[in-house]
Structure 1
Amino acid sequence: MEYEYDNPARRAHEADMERTIQELNKRKRELEEAIQQLRSSSTVPDSEPSPEDTLEIFAKAYEDVAESRPFLPTPGSVLPALLAIRTARKTITESSEHLESQASSQDEVARKLESEKTALREQQALKTALENRIRSLREGLENKQEKSPEQIAKERIAELKRQNKEWDNKTTKLTKDLDWFIEEHLGPMLAAEDLGGPVVGQLTDIDPEDLSAGFSAQGKLKKAKEQPDVDKRQRRIDEIWGPQEQRGEPNKRKREGDEASAAVAEIRRLIEQLINKLVESQGDNSACYLRIPKETAAVRFLVRSKVAMFHPKDAQQLRLVDFGRDIDD
């Protein structure tokens, strides 16, 4: 449905368009008539025109064009508006294409700028580190020149003693933490795995007293009423972890003779033997392997934790991973 107030404007616009079309058609006819007259009046010369004749022809044509009245649209014609719209549309299209072509180059310039900024920051950090290093070397050289060799030797010995004491304290603390972890957490989990339960880490909350019942074929903890008697339980412990004397357990322990204590003693003994083997080998990789009678949960745990590794050709030999050397040495 069209609104009434749009009809006069529409009619005026249609009238302007009609006048413009008539005007362009009239101009087209005039040009066609002029071309026809030129064709009919022109004669083919017998010979090629001379340069003077060609120059005279061009000069006459330019004079005619200069003296002729230019074609201008009539007042009220929509031709200027149409030309302006076409020019504006062409300008917008060219601008959009130019912006699109410049977007990729702008992104590339931005990435290059960021890369150059990063390189500059790295160079500045390197320069600062080198300047600090040069300053410290100069200060150290000046101090050495001021001190006698005896003073330097004494200071070096004192520094080595201090470092040795610091490492002893750290080693003692680490050993205590390892014993606590084995006693409170790792031992029961190792015992559970050896008794047919889940792998170490899958069942973290284990009561050592519940281990006496053992595990079912499905790896689930049996009920307390199914616990074996004391003699049968002790025989099972000796079969899995060896006799108490072989395990090196003290005569009196907090949980003497139970499965968790046997697993604790077994992992401690294994770690101690591996450390002794590594120290006694004195860098000889072929002499640092310990022969193990069987593969237990403690052995599997050390291997999974990347603390120990099997011999590449003998699965009954185990060694600690020397973290100061290449594993494949």
Structure 2
Amino acid sequence: MDMEIDYGEPATRSYEADVERTIRELKKRKNELEEALNQLSASSSSRTCVPDSELTAKDTLEIMAKAYQTVAESEPYLPTPGSILPALLAMRSTQKTIEESTEYLDSQASTLEQVERKVEVQRGELREQQALREALEKRVKSLRAGLENRQEKTQDQLARERIAELKQEKKQWDQQTSSLMKELDWFIQEHLGPMLAAEELGGPVVGQLTDIDPYDLSAGFSAQGKLKKAKDQPDIDKRQRRIDDIWGPQDQDGQPSGKRKRERDETSAATEEMRNLTEKLMNKLVEAGGDTSAAYVKISRESAAVRFLVRSKVAVFHPKDAQRLRLVDFGRDLDD
């Protein structure tokens, strides 16, 4: 152990004297131990002539007792006063303890880091549990307050509140239904109507020709399913007769149409047919009250509108009568 200590000149001389004295003591002790060792060796040599097998148990016991007695009676070795040997031994022990402590701290650094991470995680879980507990306590408190208020109310008050809630829900559903019907009407008029008219006139089925100009439908389609040119368009009367033949007159009640309220084109006729058909199907489904056998509507022909609804899986034919059609009750299917 190399250590450098800065002393003054008088202290240096005293320290050197202590070191020399300590060295002399250690050498003296060394000589004493060597002399004792030599005596022990000589004593052992004088007894080599006696075999170990001839020693009795009593002899062995006496030898061990004498050795213990000698050790017990001998004075322990103590440094002389003023010796620096105890200080050196203490410093060496302290230095060893420091080194061992440093090594232990280094070896425990990773363990400490793991423990700190675990503690942080547990602290987070504790905060979450406390927040959850507070939320549950607030919820229980509000439920108890609501239960107390509910118990204080009479049956008539509860009934009136429930009726008001149902009326509000019905109002909201009516508004949503009205909004959806407006969107459906706009879709039929702007997009679906021209495609239905094109299919009725011999053109492609709905969905195959999406960009259709209603004015081009007046000429109709050729046998190959292509639009005719503008010069091939029929006159107004012939066109109106064709519309009446395909979609029927404006009076849908079967009465003579008389003077038309407005002139119809192919798109408006197909749109009107689709609107009337969907309206009849929805009304009939509502009137049936969940009885699918009573939700069928009788149709006069398999029009493009009917085929579109069936292809879209919105409506289905009666399994035994192709002239009867009903909407698919999606809500009932989900409830089932």
Match of 2:294 among 283, 287, 305: 287
Aligned residue type for 1:210: D
| Aligned counterparts, 1:100-179, within 5 A | 135=140, 140-179=146-185
How far apart are 1:163 and its partner, in Å?
0.8
Task: Summarize deviations over 1:90-127 as a string: whole Å, max 9, x none.
Answer: xxxxxxxxxxxxxxxxxxxxxxxxxxxxxxxxxxxxx9
Partner of 2:309: 302
Partner of 2:221: 215
Structure 1 window deviating more from structure 2 (238-247 vs 226-235): it is 238-247
Aligned residue type for 2:187: F
DSSP 3-state at the match of 2:332: coil
Highest Rg: 1 or 2?
2
Task: Summarize deviations over 1:193-243 as a string: whole Å, max 9, x none.
Answer: 111111112211111111011112222111111111112111111111111
Partner of 2:122: none
CA distance in 2 between partners of 1:274 and 1:208 (Å): 27
Match of 2:188 among 182, 195, 217: 182
Query: Residue 290 of structure 2 contacts residue 332 of structure 2 at CA under 8 Å; is this kept in 1?
Result: no
Aligned residue type for 1:203: L
Q: Does 1:263 align with 2:270?
A: yes
How far apart are 1:246 and its partner, in Å?
2.1
Task: Summarize deviations over 1:100-157 as a string: whole Å, max 9, x none.
Answer: xxxxxxxxxxxxxxxxxxxxxxxxxxx99xx79x958656534422322222222111
Change (3 A) 1:137 1:285: farther
Change (3 A) 1:228 1:309: same
Aligned residue type for 2:324: Q
Aligned residue type for 2:190: E
Query: Residue 194 of structure 2 contacts residue 212 of structure 2 at CA under 8 Å; is this kept in 1?
Result: yes
What runs of 5+ residues in structure 1 fail to find an aligned partner? Answer: 1-126
Task: Summarize deviations over 1:42-81 as a string: whole Å, max 9, x none.
Answer: xxxxxxxxxxxxxxxxxxxxxxxxxxxxxxxxxxxxxxxx
Change (3 A) 1:220 1:148: same
Change (3 A) 1:247 1:193: farther
CA distance in 2 between partners of 1:203 and 1:138 (Å): 63
CA distance in 2 between partners of 1:140 and 1:309 (Å): 49
Number of residues paired by the alignment?
201
How far apart are 1:284 and its partner, in Å?
2.6
Partner of 2:27: none
Aligned residue type for 2:216: D
Query: Residue 241 of structure 1 contacts residue 247 of structure 1 at CA under 8 Å; is this kept in 2?
Result: no
CA distance in 1 between partners of 2:311 and 2:269 (Å): 21
Partner of 1:244: 250
Identity %: 72
Partner of 1:69: none
CA distance in 1 between partners of 2:181 and 2:173 (Å): 12
Change (3 A) 1:239 1:138: farther
Task: Summarize deviations over 1:162-215 as a string: whole Å, max 9, x none.
Answer: 111111111111111111111111111100011111111221111111101111
Aligned residue type for 2:175: N
What runs of 5+ residues in structure 2 fail to find an aligned partner? Answer: 1-131
Query: Residue 213 of structure 1 contacts residue 227 of structure 1 at CA under 8 Å; is this kept in 2?
Result: yes
CA distance in 2 between partners of 1:247 and 1:194 (Å): 22
CA distance in 1 between partners of 2:220 and 2:260 (Å): 24
CA distance in 1 between partners of 2:281 and 2:216 (Å): 31
DSSP 3-state at the match of 2:307: helix
How far apart are 1:324 and its partner, in Å?
2.0
Task: Summarize deviations over 1:288-328 as a string: whole Å, max 9, x none.
Answer: 1111111111001111222211112222110011122239x
DSSP 3-state at the match of 2:199: helix
DSSP 3-state at the match of 2:326: strand
How far apart are 1:251 and its partner, in Å?
4.9
Aligned residue type for 1:192: A
Query: Residue 247 of structure 1 contacts residue 266 of structure 1 at CA under 8 Å; is this kept in 2?
Result: no
Q: Does 1:278 align with 2:285?
A: yes
CA distance in 1 between partners of 2:153 and 2:195 (Å): 58
CA distance in 1 between partners of 2:179 and 2:261 (Å): 25
